């Protein structure tokens, strides 16, 4: 292979151009500024769709922050030492109701009263 042949020079130029195109494609895909052929940068302008997506994203982040705050409050309620659901249920069971018309069971002997 002759290193000074025109085919080799054309191959080097083609590889360089292909690398530049791939580099710009990756940069455009991820939102980075694009590089022109003279080394300058071209900023991407936001389209209406991009602006709408950014607004929706901001709204969803705000909603997520609100939900996280609510979850923290709920965790504090549930893990509070003074909170005992079992004790509250037992207190309701022991309290006679005015509308209680059920037949009491004799649980100790296993027979109905």
- Residue 112 has φ and ψ, to the nearest 5°, of -80, 145
Residue 109 resides in a domain: no
Residues 28 and 61 in one domain: no
Residues 39 and 79 in one domain: no
Residues 79 and 67 in one domain: yes
Terminal Cα-to-Cα distance of the chain (whole angstroms): 108
Residues 73 and 89 in one domain: yes
User: How does pLDDT run along the chain (113 residues), one tens digit per residue?
Assistant: 677 788 888 999 999 999 988 988 888 888 777 777 676 676 666 778 888 888 999 999 999 999 999 999 888 877 776 666 777 777 777 766 656 656 666 656 555 54
Residues 36 and 54 in one domain: no
Residue 101 resides in a domain: no
List CB contacts of 23: < 8 A, sequence separation 6 or more. Answer: 35
Q: Please indicate, yes or no, whether the overall pTM of this predicted structure exceeds 0.95.
A: no
Residues 15 and 40 in one domain: yes
Residue 113 resides in a domain: no
- In terms of residue numbers, what domain contains 36? 9-45
Q: Count the domains in the chain.
A: 2
The number of angstroms, rounded, from the C-alpha of 71 to the middle of its chain's C-alpha atoms is 15
Residues 50 and 89 in one domain: yes
Q: Report the pLDDT value the prediction gives residue 98, as an integer from 0 to 100.
A: 58
In sequence order, the β-bridge partners of residue 112 are 105
């Amino acid at each position: 292979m002759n290193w000074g042949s025109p085919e080799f020079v054309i191959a080097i130029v083609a590889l360089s151009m292909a690398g530049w195109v791939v580099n710009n494609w990756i940069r455009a895909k991820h939102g980075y500024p694009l590089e022109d052929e003279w080394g300058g940068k071209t900023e991407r302008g936001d389209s209406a769709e991009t602006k709408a997506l950014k607004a929706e994203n901001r709204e969803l982040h705000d909603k997520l922050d609100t939900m996280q705050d609510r979850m923290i409050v709920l965790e504090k309620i549930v893990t509070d030492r003074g909170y005992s659901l079992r004790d509250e249920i037992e207190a309701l069971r022991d309290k006679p109701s005015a509308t209680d018309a059920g037949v009491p069971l004799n649980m100790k002997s296993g027979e109905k009263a």
